[in-house]
Amino acid sequence: MVNLTINGKKVQAQKGEMLLQVCRDNGFNIPTLCHNDAVEPDGRCRLCSVEVTEGNSPRIVVSCHFPVKDGIDVQTASPRVMAVRKLVMELLAARCPDKPQITGFARTFGVTEPRYKPSYDDCILCGLCARVCSEVVGVNALSLVNRGSTKWAATPFYEASKDCIGCGSCAYVCPTDCIGMEQEGDRRFFRKWKTEFKMKSCPVCGEYWAPEYQLEYIQKKWKLPEGFFDTCPTCRS
């Protein structure tokens, strides 16, 4: 265990724990956009920045990617921290001025009119979609491609990915709802990935409940018996 101080409160934490979780476990709320407990932290959005002092050296760190250390003093809402978060939200609000999820969040930091020229993108490059596809689903159908101002979340060659199973995990974790997962009848569409999947219908209730390709993938991967997914989970229970 290590001993540290958060906003004047002395706390203990397990060595190696990330500072973001330790702060939250002790009742200190820290905002995030790129963090999800299902995947490893990546520190892309920088919104979880806090001020850490070791000895006489205060510095701004990304709390989701900073392992706790013995004796550090942490400030989660100091003037420096709030200035960093406001700048982050100014940049994101300029990037995605049409996304209410971002502009609404920005207003909580006092950002109403960003100083920067809007670019009208819909993706904040948090990488959650690619990380959940790789780390949780395990199919690697997505990635962040290119560099700098041309970086983008995309499928290989910007075409419909043959590895995608249509599970929708990417859409569920996306903080800006930019992937565009839609369902119409027996079809599920992903606007951003240019993919379409046929849905499996339950013979009992008639509901379309999962992409057929996803169920085939799971059945083969886990060597489940034939017909395991004939009915939906609700009717099977």
Q: Are 70 and 138 in a shared domain?
A: no
pLDDT over threshold 90, residue 149: no
pLDDT of amino acid 192: 94
Judge whether 83 lies within some domain. Answer: no
pLDDT of amino acid 148: 85
pLDDT of amino acid 102: 95
Distance from the first to the final alpha carbon of the chain: 43
pLDDT of amino acid 163: 94
Determine the residue type at 41: P
Q: Are 136 and 221 in a shared domain?
A: yes
Q: Are 58 and 145 in a shared domain?
A: no
The structural domain count of the chain equals: 2
Judge whether 178 lies within some domain. Answer: yes
Q: Are 141 and 230 in a shared domain?
A: yes
User: CATH number for the domain including 49?
Assistant: 3.10.20.740
Determine the residue type at 163: D
pLDDT over threshold 90, residue 112: no
Judge whether 104 lies within some domain. Answer: no
Reported as a single tens digit per residue, the pLDDT across 28-55 is 999 999 999 999 999 999 999 999 999 8
Q: Which domain holds residue 15?
A: 2-77
Judge whether 85 lies within some domain. Answer: no
**What is the pLDDT of the chain when averaged over all its residues?**
95
pLDDT of amino acid 105: 93
Q: Are 139 and 50 in a shared domain?
A: no
pLDDT over threshold 90, residue 67: yes
Judge whether 91 lies within some domain. Answer: no
Q: Are 72 and 135 in a shared domain?
A: no
Q: Are 135 and 216 in a shared domain?
A: yes
Q: Are 219 and 139 in a shared domain?
A: yes
Judge whether 56 lies within some domain. Answer: yes
Phi-psi region of 27 (alpha: psi -120 to 50; beta: other; left: phi over 0): left
Judge whether 106 lies within some domain. Answer: no
pTM: 0.91
Percent of the chain whose predicted confidence (pLDDT) is above 70: 100
Reported as a single tens digit per residue, the pLDDT across 159-206 is 989 999 999 999 999 999 999 999 999 999 999 999 999 999 999 999
- Of 34, 61, 77, the residue at which a domain comes to its end is 77
Q: Whole-angstrom Cα distance, residue 38 to residue 41?
A: 9
Percent of the chain whose predicted confidence (pLDDT) is above 90: 92
**Nearest residue to 51 (alpha-carbon basis) of 63, 67, 68:** 63
Give the three-state DSSP class for 216. helix
Q: Are 63 and 152 in a shared domain?
A: no
Judge whether 101 lies within some domain. Answer: no
